[in-house]
Structure 1
Amino acid sequence: MNDKEIVLVGTAHVSRNSAELVKRIVEQEQPDSVCIELDEQRYKSIKDKDKWRNTDIVQIIKEKKAGFMLTNIILSNYQRKIAEQFDIQAGQEMIQGIQSAEELQANIVMADRKIQTTFTRLWRKVSLWGKIKLISSIMYSLIDDEEITEEDLERMKTEDMLSSALTELSKSFPTLKTYLVDERDQYLAAKIKEAPGKKVVAILGAAHVPGVQEELFKEQDLEELDSIPEKTLASKIGGWILPGLILVMIGLTFTVDTSMAWSQVLRFILWVGSLAALGTFLAGGHVLSAVASFVMAPLSAIHPLLATGWFAGLMEAHIRKPKVEDFERLSKDLYTLKGFWKNKVTRILLVVAFSNIGCTIGIWISGLNIVTSFFDLFF
């Protein structure tokens, strides 16, 4: 291919033999470049043994990445269950690929797309019902203690860990496969073709090999694959519709019955604030974090660009700031649901998520109540 020899190595992310296979092939082929199915962020996590020490949970909340981090942690817990049950280390073949390339002084190419880009593109394209099922599936993996069978393990050997964690959901929503597998096949192929040198060894999960092999003979638009789709007009204005209707109906009610209008305002504040605070408590949040939820939820409810979880999470992080040992203990705490709730890192992320969920439920309940009162009054 354009005077470049490309060797695709299909590996099993949960197989002990894969690391040995990678080591043998790299030594045998002596490539100029070794492409790894990792992105720069995951690569740095492997290289930086003190990565948790450098984690700024406050910055993560401010950058609106709390949900992404929580999802990553839960999916990591899924991988941990597999590793624990079968006494294996997931992703060891990728680490071996990096080590072998370093020993050979070959170029190391991080060929995979950022997970955050993959999930953001997926999130923008999936329907509301799809989002609900996606979140439910991820949360269920946290509490599911069912043992993984040998049959499940064999299936995982032909999938990458990101895809295998969501396989069942992918059957119901083919769109997931488009972003989790198909687009990444295109991205991987493009990066492999761009790798410097005459000979390239690419270490991939076995599930990606057929797709990448096919894509190597096609043209890809890396810029498009790496872009974040613009929100649709419907999604941009959708968050403003219900708050707007609530404010209009309360405003019109003031023109007819001031007492009823103030009653609606009070019920709105109580429903939204109380359920946001309840969500904070369910996540194990501090009393002051719950107070922050209660106070900020009504404002967030009528201003969709604000999120109750930001304020609750920042308060929780300020009061119960995670220490280095909380990050270091994270993998161990994930062994139990209690540990997941007790660890200060995951607790902050849960406070962000649960207070937002509580606020959303409160908006719909209070909104329905206001609509009912409005129609009773005017019709």
Structure 2
Amino acid sequence: MSIMEENITRIHIGEKEFILIGTAHVSKQSAEQVKEVIEAERPDSVCVELDEQRFESIRDGDRWKNTDIFEVIKSKKASLLLVNLAISSFQKKMAKQFGIQAGQEMIQGIESAEKTGAELVLADRNIQITFARIWGNIGFKGKAKLLLSIIYGIFSKEEISEEELEKLKTQDMLDGMLQDMTDSFPTLKKPLIDERDQYLAHSIKHAPGNKVVAVLGAAHVPGIKEEIHKEHDLKKLTERPKKSKAPKIIGWTIPLLILSVIVYTFFSNPAAGTQQTISWILWNGSFSALGTAVALAHPLAVVTAFIMAPITSLNPLIAAGWFAGIVQAYFRRPNVGDFDTLSDDVTSVKGFWNNKVTRILLVVVLANLGSSLGTFIGGADVIRLFIRNL
């Protein structure tokens, strides 16, 4: 049996036939196969592994041009946008290597559904809910490992052959890939694969008509083959994890402790209190300014980070990076060209720093990271000075 035939799974439930096409998201053969299958089968419905947000992103290729960078910063979404861009960069690099648009097989599924008159079904769970459930369930260590993996994906210059890519769609390679992922991130597989298998299976099973074609990433096919025979609670699958109160408690406890120590020291030893205040300002301001400088920010953005970090570190509701980012956006406002080249620029480290959009996001993130580091070091120094002057 050829690889092309192995990628198709047929399931019959009652009078309905489900044809699952397992694809690689940057494979020319996958896109061609999707076209051939849909046009040959003439299904009543075509399900694609997309949610409304990703569907609109595909349909509106100029969406970046309408981005309000100030609104992104004010709505506290700079880090999320930067991570989203970083995650997509690896897939875009592979797509560029093989001369195909990332997600071309999904685009082909949409076009073929329109051509054949089939009803299009957006079968996947909202991507923001998936991210929220991943982020809320992997713990601090898992978050660190995941971020390092994302960074490695940007920096890595490894290339694979198209033959190796096509092998990722076979069952043996797939099992090995999932096992590796489970070993590295034990809690990642459930929200990323298992829960979406259930959601996708429900969407496919309840798609209109008696013949349904589903265009899916190969990693989901084995799970959907099992889950499609079951019923699933979509309300449970789309719940956002409850936010832990611990970060908020810690976020207020540390600044209150620092302020209390400095105020107490001022009353008992004004000279020591002054020294504590200077230490707090220098550590916070310097590290935040350093992070901003690493992002190659405008000089006034660096100065802003230095001034605001000691203040914002005492209030968890605001962050130095927001102020530095707004100043950077004011003096280095992105133009249409920056948004036009954004998808290509995120495929390289140089591009991340050169594009004005990602430069602003880096300013926000690195200024905040520097401020956080300065908070811990400056706080420790304040406590040290307090103990020394007891």
TM > 0.5 between the two? yes
Q: CA RMSD of the aligned region, Å?
A: 2.4
Q: Do the aligned partners of 1:283 and 1:350 also contact (CA within 8 Å) in 2?
A: yes
SS at match of 1:125: coil
Q: Count how many residue pairs are aligned between Structure 1 and Structure 2.
A: 374
Q: Which residue of 1 aligns with 2:263?
A: 251
SS at match of 1:34: strand
SS at match of 2:157: coil
Of 120, 131, 135, 1:123 maps to 135
SS at match of 2:120: strand
The runs of 5 or more residues in structure 1 that have no matched partner are: none
Of 333, 337, 341, 1:329 maps to 341
Q: Do the aligned partners of 2:154 and 2:348 also contact (CA within 8 Å) in 1?
A: no
Q: Deviations over 1:118-145 (max 9, x none)?
A: 2222112222222222222212222222
Q: Does 1:212 align with 2:245?
A: no
CA spacing shift, 1:112–1:245, aligned 2, 3 Å: same
Q: Do the aligned partners of 2:38 and 2:112 also contact (CA within 8 Å) in 1?
A: yes
Q: Which residue of 2 aligns with 1:85?
A: 97
Q: Which residue of 2 aligns with 1:52?
A: 64
- In the alignment, the residues of structure 1 paired with residue 316 and residue 181 of structure 2 have an alpha-carbon distance, to the nearest angstrom, of 29
**Within 5 Å, which residues of 2 pair with 1:215-230?**
215-230=227-242
**Within 5 Å, which residues of 2 pair with 1:47-196?**
47-148=59-160, 153-154=165-166, 156-157=168-169, 171-196=183-208
- In the alignment, the residues of structure 1 paired with residue 164 and residue 389 of structure 2 have an alpha-carbon distance, to the nearest angstrom, of 59
Q: Do the aligned partners of 2:292 and 2:305 also contact (CA within 8 Å) in 1?
A: yes
Q: Does 1:375 align with 2:387?
A: yes
Q: CA deviation at 1:280?
A: 0.8
Q: Which residue of 1 aligns with 2:285?
A: 273
- In the alignment, the residues of structure 2 paired with residue 166 and residue 207 of structure 1 have an alpha-carbon distance, to the nearest angstrom, of 8
CA spacing shift, 1:84–1:117, aligned 2, 3 Å: same
Q: Do the aligned partners of 1:16 and 1:88 also contact (CA within 8 Å) in 2?
A: yes
CA spacing shift, 1:261–1:167, aligned 2, 3 Å: farther
Q: Do the aligned partners of 1:271 and 1:363 also contact (CA within 8 Å) in 2?
A: yes
Q: CA deviation at 1:359?
A: 0.4
Q: Which residue of 2 aligns with 1:28?
A: 40
Q: Deviations over 1:84-142 (max 9, x none)?
A: 33344432111110001111222211111232222222112222222222222212222
Of 208, 215, 225, 1:203 maps to 215
- In the alignment, the residues of structure 2 paired with residue 66 and residue 165 of structure 1 have an alpha-carbon distance, to the nearest angstrom, of 31
Counterpart residue identity of residue 325, structure 1: G
Q: Which residue of 1 aligns with 2:30?
A: 18
CA spacing shift, 1:103–1:147, aligned 2, 3 Å: closer
Of 286, 291, 296, 2:298 maps to 286
- In the alignment, the residues of structure 2 paired with residue 86 and residue 31 of structure 1 have an alpha-carbon distance, to the nearest angstrom, of 30
The runs of 5 or more residues in structure 2 that have no matched partner are: 1-12
SS at match of 2:389: helix
Q: Which residue of 1 aligns with 2:6?
A: none
Counterpart residue identity of residue 234, structure 2: L
SS at match of 1:175: coil
CA spacing shift, 1:81–1:26, aligned 2, 3 Å: same
Of 297, 300, 312, 1:300 maps to 312
CA spacing shift, 1:293–1:146, aligned 2, 3 Å: same
CA spacing shift, 1:310–1:3, aligned 2, 3 Å: farther
SS at match of 2:232: coil
Counterpart residue identity of residue 62, structure 2: D
Q: Do the aligned partners of 1:158 and 1:207 also contact (CA within 8 Å) in 2?
A: no
Q: Deviations over 1:301-352 (max 9, x none)?
A: 1111212222211221122111111111223334542222011011011011
SS at match of 1:132: helix
Q: Do the aligned partners of 1:12 and 1:158 also contact (CA within 8 Å) in 2?
A: no
- In the alignment, the residues of structure 2 paired with residue 347 and residue 166 of structure 1 have an alpha-carbon distance, to the nearest angstrom, of 34
Q: Do the aligned partners of 1:284 and 1:342 also contact (CA within 8 Å) in 2?
A: no
Q: Do the aligned partners of 2:288 and 2:305 also contact (CA within 8 Å) in 1?
A: yes
CA spacing shift, 1:74–1:107, aligned 2, 3 Å: same
Q: Do the aligned partners of 1:14 and 1:156 also contact (CA within 8 Å) in 2?
A: no
Of stretches 103-112 and 137-146 in structure 1, the one that deviates more from structure 2 is 137-146
CA spacing shift, 1:371–1:169, aligned 2, 3 Å: farther
Q: Which residue of 2 aligns with 1:41?
A: 53
- In the alignment, the residues of structure 1 paired with residue 351 and residue 72 of structure 2 have an alpha-carbon distance, to the nearest angstrom, of 21
Q: CA deviation at 1:149?
A: 5.7
Q: Percent identity?
A: 53
Q: Do the aligned partners of 2:44 and 2:211 also contact (CA within 8 Å) in 1?
A: yes
Q: CA deviation at 1:300?
A: 1.8
Of stretches 202-211 and 297-306 in structure 1, the one that deviates more from structure 2 is 297-306
Q: Do the aligned partners of 2:27 and 2:165 also contact (CA within 8 Å) in 1?
A: no
Q: Do the aligned partners of 1:32 and 1:198 also contact (CA within 8 Å) in 2?
A: yes
Counterpart residue identity of residue 293, structure 2: F
Q: Does 1:235 align with 2:235?
A: no
Q: Which residue of 1 aligns with 2:4?
A: none
